[in-house]
Amino acid sequence: MIKLRPILLAHGGAGLRRLSPAQAACLAAALETGYDVLNRGGPALDAVETTIRALEASGLFNAGLGSRRQLDGVARMDASLMDGRDLRAGAVASVEDILHPIAAARLVMMHTDHVLLAGVHATRLAKHFGLDRRPKTPGRRRLTKARPSGAMLRLHRAMVRGAMRGRERHGRETVGAVALDRTGTVAAGASTGGIDVMLPGRIGDTPLVGCGIYADNRGGAVSMTGWGESIIRVAAAKGIVDGLAGGDSPAAAARALFKSLVKRISGTAGALVLAPDGRFAIVHTTPRMAAGFWNGTGRPTVRDRFP
């Protein structure tokens, strides 16, 4: 069996915001916890799930405990993960009340014949398997009535326009990870509470295999963050993995995809990109991307800008 040096990358979202010291420490600790799995000879998929669980539980990112709320005041979360050895994948969309949506995605992968479950039924599956509940957090004021209406759509458009003028059009602090284990298998995962301004029921790129994540030992592993609507329209994660499979370096594969994302649809995104030989890149079109990596030597590197 090939013995590779494992490597693990994690992100805490792409956007404008600087990484706080608490977030940087949390990313480093999550990398250490996840790397421990790889170091003991564990699979890349377990390392990805462990890393994302640590970030979801922290409340410091827009995932799990720290998830944003949609315009009706409800936090609906998306997550997915994928194994590059056999292309198995699991995902959940619009789940509520679950502390670890990434674990719910893993349940879909392990215990069903499906790839993606959504809404109340995905939430019920997670509860059936006894996943931890998300503790109630102090609620943001409910902005509109829960039912879609002309008023809600007008509010949504006004908020989107404001967000685009004022700062950035997408949320920050989604989390994700990619890993390479000792056997040469790669895996990818991501978990989010969505973007800044969302109509109830909005689902982004994160639970969509091929858009928010992809992993294939013949190409590599990718975990995306950024404006999900733009990431979906270019099927970003699969596009980058196809570039890797075609011989591009991780940085070149991401840049090629981002060129059309920005030029054709004014999208914004960041990506963790990992090849099965351990080469990797962290690339973003946004001013900042909170992310880090570790291969078990020294201390994990964590920054909010990557050249």
- Which residues are identified as catalytic? 174
**Candidate list 228, 250, 267, 276; residue touching ligand ASP; CB under 6 A:** 228
Q: What is the DSSP letter of 65?
A: G
Among 6, 101, 194, 276, binds ligand ASP (CB under 6 A): 194
User: Taking CA 52 as the corner, what is the angle to CA 173 and CA 117, rounded to the nearest 5 degrees?
Assistant: 95
Q: Does 206 bind ligand ASP (CB under 6 A)?
A: yes
Q: Is 80 in the site for ligand ASP (CB under 6 A)?
A: no
Provide the sign of the torsion angle of the four alpha carbons 20, 22, 23, 27, taken in this order: positive
Tokens, residue 63: 């995932």
- Least gap, CB of 80 to ligand ASP (angstroms): 11
* Residue with the shortest CB distance to ligand ASP: 228
Question: By the 8 A CB rule, do 12 and 19 touch?
Answer: yes
- Residue 37 vs 208, nearer CB to ligand ASP: 208
Alpha-carbon separation of residue 219 from 76, 232, 238, 242, 302 (angstroms): 32, 20, 10, 7, 25
> Which of 23, 94, 192, 285 touches ligand ASP (CB under 6 A)?
192
Sign, CA torsion 20/25/28/34? negative
Site track 8-37 with ligand ASP (rule: CB under 6 A), x = hit? -----x------------------------
Is residue 205 near ligand ASP by the rule CB under 6 A?
Answer: yes
Report d(CA 141, CA 65) in Å as an integer.
Answer: 18
Counting contacts by CB under 6 A, is residue 101 touching ligand ASP? no
Query: Least distance to ligand ASP from the beta carbon of 8, Å?
Result: 19
- Which structure tokens are listed for 256? 């090629």
Which positions from 141 through 180 interact with ligand ASP, judged by CB under 6 A? Answer: 170-172, 174
Kindly tell me which residue out of 189, 204, 210, 300 binds ligand ASP, with binding defined by CB under 6 A.
204
Q: Would you count residue 226 as binding ligand ASP (CB under 6 A)?
A: yes
In this structure, what DSSP letter does residue 64 have?
Answer: G
* Number of neighbours of residue 86 by Cβ within 10 angstroms: 10
Q: Indicate the Cα dihedral angle 78, 84, 87, 89, nearest 10°.
A: -20
Give residues in contact with ligand ASP (CB under 6 A).
13, 170-172, 174, 192, 194-195, 204-206, 225-226, 228
